[in-house]
Amino acid sequence: MLNSVGAILLDTRSIQKYVFSCNRLKTNIGASFLVDSIFSDLMVNKILPSLNLKMPEFSWNEVDNVQMLEDDSIECEVAYIGGGNMIILVRKQDEDVIELCKKIVGSWSKEILIKAPGLKTGAAIGMLDIDSEHFQKSLGILYKQLKDNQNTILPQVDVPYVGFTLECDYSGKTAEYLRGRVEDSIINEFDNKMVSAEIVAKSSAYNVATEKLKEEYKDILGNRFDFVTKFDNLGYKDNESYISVVHIDGNNMGIKFASCKNMQERKKLSLRTAQIVKRGFYKLLKSVVIDFKEGIYDKSLNINKMKNRYLPIRPIIIGGDDITFVCPGRLGLEYAKRFIQFVSKEQLLDEKLYSNAQSYAGKIFNNQNIKVNNNMSCCAGVAIVPAKYPFYRAYELAEQLCGSAKKKSREDDESFVDFAILHGDMSPTLDQLCVQQYEAPEGYLHYGPYCITQEQNDKSNINDLFSLIEKIKKVPNNKIKDLRNVLNEDNHSIVRFLENCPEVENILKDELQKEDVGASDLWQYMKNEKILKTRYVDAIELIDFSLKV
């Protein structure tokens, strides 16, 4: 039986910075496509076929087994691609397998300098036991080597400069390209400025990326609908120029993959994860089209801006357990909720892998009560920011919010979402934002993260939040403003406010299902955090960022 083969572990580094470093949507989308294509296209379709090694008859994602285990004549196989990683298995009689692996990595790296300048990658090479009890140990050695390489090697990611000193306005690197050097249509978009090779590569990839996306969702888009090329066409109104940057990431995926006992299990899990995420986005997109046709957005969005064809959602990254998309500020939480509800209905782990993951999680956290969900679970961060806000900072905030949601999901592996709203030119981290906006004399003004997949006794479910928003919308605007202000003051101010605002008092009675309510009922004591929190500021802030009925 086959045991040890040569293995190449490839990795892409600083993906987010590479994709989101520019505020141009086309450049972001092109960059995302390049990150994906260096594995799925460049390595699979160009580098590996050039080596004249016998490959499997079927592509890596067409079958869920490792074909090398069943066919001794196969010399090279892509084991899996996912999560920014790729593993290639290599064996060759009468040839140094490690040297062959080095040759593959070298050829790939040179091509990346040309096809995707600026993209940082990493590699580790070694022997891997793909179907034995030593699989996890040998894979761990590869990952350790990859980490060590990342810490000690500074890769050359751009072709060396040729004497130019003009700086590209978009990437900060040397500007080498002007009209005539590349397609005029690309350079025209930059007002005929000189730009770097990195920006040209990203922009050139946009059209290919868009056509691929349209082909993937052609049965939903048809001939009527299209994805936007500029944020302005998302449909936010002129006096509401906010977008939502939504980042969603799978829960405890490291634990779930580490629980795989061999390469075959790991490959199956990788394929299953990608399939669930793609189906989830497909269902989300379908629901958006139905909403559009039924006029759900007519009151909330500027339909004229959308030219009756642009959808109010633009995917940037759909890969593995990771998804990032942009939509109008009013729709971010709703779309995050929908996507997570769709994927959470799908089983991710079979019985064996679920048992392994549950046991492994208990050891890692030294707590046997830790729960692992056998269905797909994930968390979302929704950054609601001005449309002109630096995109990379907005993405960073969305990622931090997703991390905040993940902290709350650790014990039960349920799906949560957290959000933040930035106004003006604010550029804080999430920690700074919490101090600046949420700390008050009586407690904490932000109630999130909110659970999406399970009811919560403390009403921290997203549906409870949406319900509260609708109730507060019926309160006079001046009273809503006063409530927001007094919650940032002392208890005496809150008492006086309630005495003069029966509308809010009635909401409290309805929410708590009791007749006698007071200032303390605006707050909920959170045992795990040992702090008082209020739901009402979140609801007030989201009035302007929810759908108009």
Residues 456 and 476 in one domain: yes
Look at residue 304 and tell me if it is in a domain: yes
pLDDT of residue 347: 96
- List pLDDT tens digits, range 26-53: 899 999 999 999 998 999 999 999 999 9
Which of 397, 431, 465 corresponds to the end of one domain? Answer: 431
- List pLDDT tens digits, range 205-236: 998 999 999 999 999 999 899 999 888 889 88
CATH for 241: 3.30.70.270
- List pLDDT tens digits, range 284-324: 999 999 999 999 998 888 888 888 789 999 999 998 899 99
pLDDT of 180 > 70? The answer is no
Band (2; pLDDT cuts 50, 70, 90): low
Look at residue 497 and tell me if it is in a domain: yes
Residue 9 forms beta bridges with which residues? 87, 124
pLDDT of 142 > 80? The answer is yes
pLDDT of residue 379: 97
Q: Among residues 455, 480, 478, 483, which one has the least CA distance to residue 470? A: 480
Residues 405 and 256 in one domain: yes
- State the average pLDDT over residues 325-329: 95
Q: What percent of the chain has pLDDT over 90?
A: 56
Residues 136 and 259 in one domain: no
Residues 443 and 425 in one domain: no
pLDDT of residue 58: 86
Band (6; pLDDT cuts 50, 70, 90): very high
Band (443; pLDDT cuts 50, 70, 90): very high
- List pLDDT tens digits, range 355-394: 988 888 888 777 777 889 999 999 999 999 999 888 889 9
- State the average pLDDT over residues 443-450: 93
pLDDT of residue 181: 52
Look at residue 201 and tell me if it is in a domain: no
Look at residue 163 and tell me if it is in a domain: no
pLDDT of residue 124: 95
Look at residue 230 and tell me if it is in a domain: yes
How many separate domains does the chain show?
3
Residue 291 phi/psi, 5° resolution? Answer: -55, -45
Instruction: Supply 266's token pair.
Output: 């790991």
Residues 447 and 381 in one domain: no
pLDDT of 23 > 90? The answer is no
pLDDT of 513 > 50? The answer is yes
pLDDT of residue 339: 98
Residue with the larger pLDDT of the pair 188 and 495: 495
CA 293, CA 287: separation in Å to the nearest integer?
10
CA 463, CA 295: separation in Å to the nearest integer?
22
The whole-model pTM stands at 0.92
Residues 386 and 459 in one domain: no
- For residues 85 and 9, the answer to whether their CB atoms sit within 8 Å is yes
pLDDT of residue 84: 84
pLDDT of 185 > 70? The answer is no
pLDDT of residue 162: 67
pLDDT of residue 1: 45
Residues 37 and 137 in one domain: yes
Residue 324 forms beta bridges with which residues? 247, 317
- For residues 416 and 450, the answer to whether their CB atoms sit within 8 Å is yes
pLDDT of 188 > 70? The answer is no
Cis bond before residue 49 (omega within 30° of 0): no
Instruction: Supply 502's token pair.
Output: 């029966």
CA 92, CA 97: separation in Å to the nearest integer?
6
Residues 226 and 337 in one domain: yes
Band (508; pLDDT cuts 50, 70, 90): very high
Q: For the residues of 341-381, what is the DSSP string, one character each?
A: HHHTTSB-S-HHHHHHHHHHHHHHTT-TT----SB--EEEE
Look at residue 158 and tell me if it is in a domain: no
pLDDT of residue 156: 77
- State the average pLDDT over residues 266-281: 94
- For residues 113 and 106, the answer to whether their CB atoms sit within 8 Å is no
Which of 122, 152, 182 corresponds to the end of one domain? Answer: 152
Residues 445 and 539 in one domain: yes
CATH for 99: 3.30.70.1230
pLDDT of 427 > 80? The answer is no
Band (401; pLDDT cuts 50, 70, 90): very high
pLDDT of 415 > 50? The answer is yes
Q: What's the chain's average pLDDT?
A: 89
CA 19, CA 34: separation in Å to the nearest integer?
9
- List pLDDT tens digits, range 331-355: 999 999 999 999 999 999 999 999 9
Residues 24 and 131 in one domain: yes
Residue 461 is part of which domain span?
439-549
Half-sphere exposure of 366 (CA within 13 A, CB side): 0
Look at residue 356 and tell me if it is in a domain: yes
Dihedral sign (CA 273, 279, 281, 287)? negative
Q: How many CB atoms are closer than 10 A to CB 193? A: 16
- For residues 162 and 197, the answer to whether their CB atoms sit within 8 Å is no
Q: Among residues 374, 352, 356, 365, which one has the least CA distance to residue 410? A: 365
Band (182; pLDDT cuts 50, 70, 90): low
| Integer angstrom CA distances of residue 257 from 36, 273, 516 | 20, 11, 52
Helix (H, G, I), strand (E, B) or coil at 199: helix
Residues 425 and 503 in one domain: no
Residues 332 and 464 in one domain: no
Look at residue 64 and tell me if it is in a domain: yes
Which of 398, 414, 431 corresponds to the end of one domain? Answer: 431
- For residues 202 and 34, the answer to whether their CB atoms sit within 8 Å is yes
CA 473, CA 258: separation in Å to the nearest integer?
47
CA 285, CA 154: separation in Å to the nearest integer?
40
pLDDT of residue 435: 82
Instruction: Supply 94's token pair.
Output: 């009468």
- State the average pLDDT over residues 532-542: 95
